[in-house]
């Protein structure tokens, strides 16, 4: 573990604190709103579950309920964003940026309106609601959009920091949050700089760089710990900024190890893995194994069961590491 | 807003006719684009930019300017023409419409040209952006008005009705919507493609103040815009009945002219008609 980053010392213990990353959005939004008068919030009938409720209570005059209308939410925000406001729009990621993709493209991204899009209940870990509510293509959609920045925080504390950071960055931003309680990996003291990847784990003799983001960072760290015991050294990189991607850090890690595994709770097409592959194909051809959803939808189930069944668990990450070593 | 006196009306009518000539010339030069809508809306755009809007072409970012959001972006030739004539950019530049490196994109793009308030083209998203702008004015206690110019066809978009609900709920009285009710869309007439009537009653039931006018009657448009300014409890919609292709006889009321430009001969004929129309306006008022 990288001691400089002041990560949660109890991370590998049984009773590690658990909290959903969406809670960090709620807390970050309030902090940002207290500091910046221009921050306004819009929600499409999901105020409680997107954790916008506390903001709505503290700033009722700056909160707008649009009803079940994600397209309207995005476009009203676009109008507010070109008028000097800093609007946050919150819904489930399957609906926003799912339902309102074109509105986001034209009226927020192309229009360069200062809107922050909070995509909640992302990934397969949404669980029992099933595939209709599990956003697994949202990063691909948003990453391909010019003018858009994409951040995927790993826990609630990083989510809070990313939300606050989004206000300070001018222009459209996409933030991705999970529904489930997940282990707290970072602490308040852990730095967060948009566009800057961080080395969370580094073995003495690393043979593979595991590049990840979001809640599966925990699984990646667990895999690294177990691999260490098997004398397979790794580096685990938290690439919370998918766009802009920290090319320099990622290239250094590939240089050091000569092999890469990507881990994400998303389709392997178009997400973090693709961003990393595009980089290495251009600048440093490197063997890569991709951990994520392989062109399939999810289903109902418990989050842990789903992560296991769809090949994104500790076992799968370890398998990918061993496989990529064979390709070196 | 001052009513139109005789001299002013004549000036605006002549100007609108010039704008129609600009539109024909631009479309011919571009070789693609939409004819019927821009011609049909020339009167309203001329009144807006030369009489109704509080704006400053030399200072497009003036914070207190009225905002004009063009929702049906495809009629932008008429917007570009009035903007050029108002002094936002040189008239010469109109010939660059739809060309490489031009600020006059085929559908308007906010960051390309000072004076544009939004990016538009995909239908049905202008009204909610205008509602967002009007909402920000209310939050900031700004006095400016927001005008949203929409087409009738885009009232088939769900997003439009979401915005109508939102503006009604929030009583956005600083918002005026103008609908180009020309009854045509790409595939035919609106009432056979997907009927919109009764449009007036629909808006009323969504808690809007509704006015209905002849969109070529400049005096009626000015008084409707003035009335909207003193309605404090609701947003206002002006349903402006227009003739698509207005001013060019062979384009008028024919939906096939929705999305195509004139060829060389057709443009020549159109210019001839518009010039003689211009002469008639001059002599009628004399």
The ipTM of this complex is 0.92
- Of the given ranges (A220-229, B114-123, B274-283), which has the lowest mean pLDDT? B274-283
**Smallest Cβ distance to A80: which of B111, B132, B166?**
B132
pLDDT at B286 over 70: no
Q: Do the beta carbons of residue B170 and residue B230 sit within 8 Å?
A: no
CA distance A181 to A179: 7
Instruction: Assign a CATH topology to domain A3-12+192-326.
Output: Rossmann fold (3.40.50)
Examine the residue annotation and report whether A48 is marked as an active-site residue of this protein: no
- Is the Cβ pair B133, A82 closer than 8 Å? yes
Contacts of B119 in chain A (CB under 8 A): 106-107, 110-111
Determine the 3-state secondary structure of A192 from DSSP: coil
What's the pTM value of the predicted model, to 2 decimals?
0.95
Do the two domains A3-12+192-326 and A18-183 of this chain adopt the same fold?
yes
Residue in this structure with the two tokens 């921050």, named with its chain if needed: A39
Cα separation of the two ends of chain B: 26
Instruction: Assign a CATH topology to domain A18-183.
Output: Rossmann fold (3.40.50)
* Domain-embedded: residue B46: yes
CATH of the domain at B221: 3.40.50.970
Of A190, A252, A107, which Cα lies nearest the Cα of B117?
A107
pLDDT tens-place string over residues A76-121: 999 999 999 999 999 999 999 999 999 999 999 999 999 999 999 9
**Smallest Cβ distance to A82: which of B110, B122, B170?**
B110
pLDDT at B1 over 90: no
For chain A, say whether B158 makes contact (Cβ under 8 Å): yes
Average pLDDT on B7-11 reads: 94
* Domain-embedded: residue B1: no
Average pLDDT on B49-62 reads: 98
pLDDT at B3 over 90: no
Q: Do the beta carbons of residue A208 and residue A256 sit within 8 Å?
A: no
Q: Where are the domains of chain A?
A: 3-12+192-326, 18-183
Average pLDDT on B87-100 reads: 97
For chain A, say whether B117 makes contact (Cβ under 8 Å): yes
How sure is the predictor about B6, in pLDDT bands with cuts at 50, 70 and 90? Answer: confident
Q: In what order do the strands lie in the sheet with B236-241?
A: B67-70, B146-151, B175-181, B236-241, B209-214
Q: Would you state the structure tokens that stand for residue B202, as one six-digit string?
A: 């629909």
Average pLDDT on A215-221 reads: 98
**Smallest Cβ distance to B159: which of A75, A83, A112?**
A75
Contacts of A72 in chain B (CB under 8 A): 128, 159, 162-163, 165-166
* Domain-embedded: residue B125: yes
Share of chain B above pLDDT 90, in %: 94
Q: Is B191 exposed, middle or buried (0-12, 13-18, 19+ CB in 10 A)?
A: exposed
CA distance A33 to A36: 5
Average pLDDT on B152-158 reads: 97
Share of chain A above pLDDT 90, in %: 99
Cα separations (Å) of A303 from A120, A222, A239, A313, B176?
Answer: 15, 17, 22, 11, 49
Bridge partners (DSSP) listed for residue A235: A202, A209
Mean pLDDT of chain A: 97
pLDDT tens-place string over residues B25-45: 999 999 999 999 999 999 999
How sure is the predictor about A193, in pLDDT bands with cuts at 50, 70 and 90? Answer: very high
Compute the Cα dihedral for A86, A91, A92, A93 and give only its sign: negative
* Mutation target among A61, A75, A114 for the B interface, most CBs of B within 10 A: A75
CA atoms within 13 A on the CB side of A197: 28
Question: Among residues A27, A70, A137, A180, which one is catalytic?
Answer: A70
CA distance A266 to A273: 9
Domain tally for chain B? 1
């Amino acid at each position: 573990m990288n001691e400089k980053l002041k990560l949660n010392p109890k991370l590998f213990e049984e009773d590690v604190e658990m909290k959903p990353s969406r809670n960090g959005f709620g807390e970050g939004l309030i902090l940002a709103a207290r500091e910046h008068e221009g921050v306004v919030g819009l929600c499409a009938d999901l105020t409680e579950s997107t954790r916008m409720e506390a903001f709505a209570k503290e700033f009722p005059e700056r909160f707008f309920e649009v009803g079940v209308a994600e397209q309207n939410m995005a476009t009203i925000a676009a109008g507010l964003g070109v008028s000097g406001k800093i609007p946050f729009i919150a819904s489930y990621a399957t609906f926003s940026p799912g339902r309102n993709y074109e509105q986001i493209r034209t009226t927020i991204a192309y229009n360069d309106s200062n809107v922050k899009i909070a995509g909640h209940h992302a990934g397969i870990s949404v669980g029992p609601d099933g595939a209709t509510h599990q956003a697994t293509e949202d990063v691909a959609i948003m990453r391909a959009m010019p003018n858009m920045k994409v951040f995927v925080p790993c826990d609630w504390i990083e989510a809070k920091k990313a939300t606050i950071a989004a206000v300070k960055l001018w222009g459209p931003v996409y933030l991705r949050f999970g529904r489930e309680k997940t282990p707290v990996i970072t602490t308040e003291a852990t730095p967060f700089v948009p566009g800057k990847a961080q080395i969370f784990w580094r073995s003495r003799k690393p043979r593979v760089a595991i590049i990840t983001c979001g809640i599966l960072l925990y699984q990646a760290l667990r895999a690294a710990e177990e691999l260490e015991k098997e004398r397979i050294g790794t580096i685990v990189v938290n690439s919370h900024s998918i766009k802009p991607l920290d090319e320099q850090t990622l290239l250094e890690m590939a240089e050091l190890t000569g092999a890469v595994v990507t881990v994400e709770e998303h389709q392997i097409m178009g997400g973090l893995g693709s961003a990393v592959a595009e980089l290495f194909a251009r600048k440093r051809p490197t063997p890569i194994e991709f951990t994520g959803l392989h062109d399939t939808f999810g289903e109902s189930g418990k989050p842990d069961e789903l992560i296991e069944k769809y090949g994104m668990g500790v076992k799968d990450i370890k398998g990918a590491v061993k496989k990529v070593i064979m390709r070196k | 807003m001052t009513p139109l006196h005789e001299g002013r009306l004549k000036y605006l009518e002549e100007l609108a006719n010039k704008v129609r000539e600009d539109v024909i010339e631009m479309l011919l030069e571009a070789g693609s684009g939409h004819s019927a809508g821009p011609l049909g809306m020339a009167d309203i755009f001329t009144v807006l930019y030369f009489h109704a809007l509080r704006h400053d072409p030399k200072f497009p970012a003036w914070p207190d300017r009225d905002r004009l959001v063009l929702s049906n972006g495809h009629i932008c030739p008429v917007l570009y023409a009035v903007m050029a004539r108002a002094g936002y950019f040189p008239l010469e530049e109109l010939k660059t419409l739809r060309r490489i490196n031009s600020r006059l994109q085929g559908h308007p793009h906010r960051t390309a040209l000072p004076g544009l308030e939004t990016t538009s083209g995909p239908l049905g998203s202008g009204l909610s952006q205008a509602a967002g702008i009007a909402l920000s004015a209310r939050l900031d206690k700004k006095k400016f008005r927001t005008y949203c110019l929409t087409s009738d066809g885009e009232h088939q978009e769900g997003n439009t009705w979401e915005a109508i609900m939102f503006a009604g709920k929030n009583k956005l009285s600083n918002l005026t919507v103008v609908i180009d009710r020309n009854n045509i869309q790409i595939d035919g007439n609106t009432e056979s493609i997907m009927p919109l009537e009764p449009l007036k009653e629909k808006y009323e039931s969504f808690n809007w103040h509704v006015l209905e006018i002849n969109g070529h009657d400049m005096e009626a448009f000015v008084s409707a815009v003035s009335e909207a300014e003193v309605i404090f409890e609701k947003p206002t919609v002006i349903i402006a009945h227009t003739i698509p292709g207005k001013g060019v006889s062979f384009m008028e009321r024919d939906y096939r002219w929705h999305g195509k430009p004139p060829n060389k001969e057709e443009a020549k004929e159109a210019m001839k008609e518009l010039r003689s129309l211009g002469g008639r306006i001059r002599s009628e008022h004399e």
